Amino acid sequence: MDLDSLIGRFKQKDVQAFEDLHQMYATNICGVIHTILRDKERAEELTQDVFIKVWNYAESYDASRGRFFTWILNIARNAAIDELRSKTHKQQKQNLRTDYFVDIADSKEDDALEIDTTRLRELVKGLGKKCKQMLDLLYFKGLTQKETAGFLDIPLGTVKTRNRSCISRLRKNMTL
């Protein structure tokens, strides 16, 4: 089935189209959320919340602004970061060991969730150590740019510049 027509039906609140899209993307979305939260049960719950939000805001998807999967992925990432920053989550995770935060590309838990990280590894492989660290802190651990600057003990402007540069390199790697 043509993805564009499926998305069109979904935007018109076709339940079967929603179920098909959920079937296509739920595992990957759950994997991204799990990568950020490191809590499988909460990741599964949040995945369902994300798909409810996607259903409620279906008409706001605009194909001219990006791919459908990217749209859902951004909603999921934002929901996971919001959860990570919530007081409840911070209280639950206060006493975690340092191995709670492991490198995403080397995580064996991703294999258990049936997430294909091969493409991610390829994209990140060409980046330098500073870029990997920057992306990990900002996108996978959910730190703000200001928090990242404090963590790395560098100026906020440097964080912003490096982030833009790293994202540009990732985009370049995606076109190769």
Domain definitions of the chain by residue range: 1-102, 117-176
pLDDT at residue 99 tops 70: no
Average pLDDT over residues 95-110: 45
pLDDT at position 137 is 85
Q: Which fold has domain 1-102?
A: Rna Polymerase Sigma Factor; Chain: A (1.10.1740)
Which is higher by pLDDT, 63 or 95? 63
pLDDT at residue 100 tops 50: no
pTM score: 0.55
Average pLDDT over residues 34-47: 90
Q: Do domains 1-102 and 117-176 have the same CATH topology?
A: no
In the CATH scheme, what architecture does the domain 117-176 have? Orthogonal Bundle (1.10)
pLDDT at position 87 is 61
pLDDT at position 96 is 46
**Who contacts 135 (Cβ-Cβ below 8 Å, separation ≥6)?**
124, 127, 163, 166, 170
Q: What is the DSSP letter of 126?
A: T
Q: How many beta carbons lie within 10 A of that of residue 133, not counting itself?
A: 17
Which is higher by pLDDT, 95 or 118? 118
Residue linked to tokens 């499988």? 40
pLDDT at residue 155 tops 60: yes
pLDDT at residue 28 tops 50: yes
CA gap 159, 170 in Å, rounded: 16
